Amino acid sequence: MAKVEYLTFNRFLSLFNPRALYVLSYSWLFGMSLWVTFFGGVIAFKTLPRQQFGQLQLKTFPIYFSINVALSSLMMAYWVFTHPDVISYISRPTVADVAQLYALFVVFGTHGLNCFVVGPIASKVKVQRHKLEKEEGKGYDEKEVSAQMKAFNRKFGMLHGISSLLNLIAFIALVFHGLWIGNAGAKGY
């Protein structure tokens, strides 16, 4: 039988350490990404009227991407601090710890692009399209919409596709990192 360990107050306090907080940060980031990417958006799209769905996304995505940028940047800092050799081998992605830093950077970069570039542009186009729908008295997807509405539709479709692809790439990088820390742990040397 394994050694019996008792939970004392001091032992409880010792649970709050950088490595444990790293794992909690990863869990938060992964869980939130899994939910937003594959469940929350789909449920909201199928449940809410289109205008309300759009408003929900306008409010949700900036927070989602900001949290992802913050958590992934903290995780990168922790990873470099606990794995100092990654700096020496930074140009060698086949070094396992460097590959993990790259994975975290992919999450940071893709969510950063969504937070600061793609998302704000897509939101602006979406708001313009909603305004034009009210002016024209037609939905964006009705027959014989204006040329301006068609242009908004093309631009929004392109931006939505880019945003979705960036989000999926980040999710794949998180899966890779999670598999790594699940097997090797988050501890450094």
| DSSP 3-state of 188 | coil
Q: Establish if 9 belongs to a structural domain.
A: no
**Residue 93, domain member (yes or no):** yes
Residue 8, domain member (yes or no): no
Q: Environment class of residue 12 by beta-carbon count within 10 Å: exposed (0-12), middle (13-18) or buried (19+)?
A: exposed
Domain total of the chain: 1
Q: Is residue 3 in some structural domain?
A: no
Tell me: pLDDT of 189 over 80. no
Give the integer Cα–Cα distance in Å for 83 and 96.
11
**Residue 51 — very low, low, confident or very high, per pLDDT cuts 50/70/90?**
confident
Q: Which of 67, 78, 62, 41 is nearest to 177 (CA)?
A: 78
State which residues form the domain around 112. 18-184
pLDDT digits (tens, 9 = 90+) for 123-172: 999 999 989 999 988 888 888 889 999 999 999 999 999 999 999 999 99
Asked whether residue 2 is assigned to any structural domain, the reply reads no
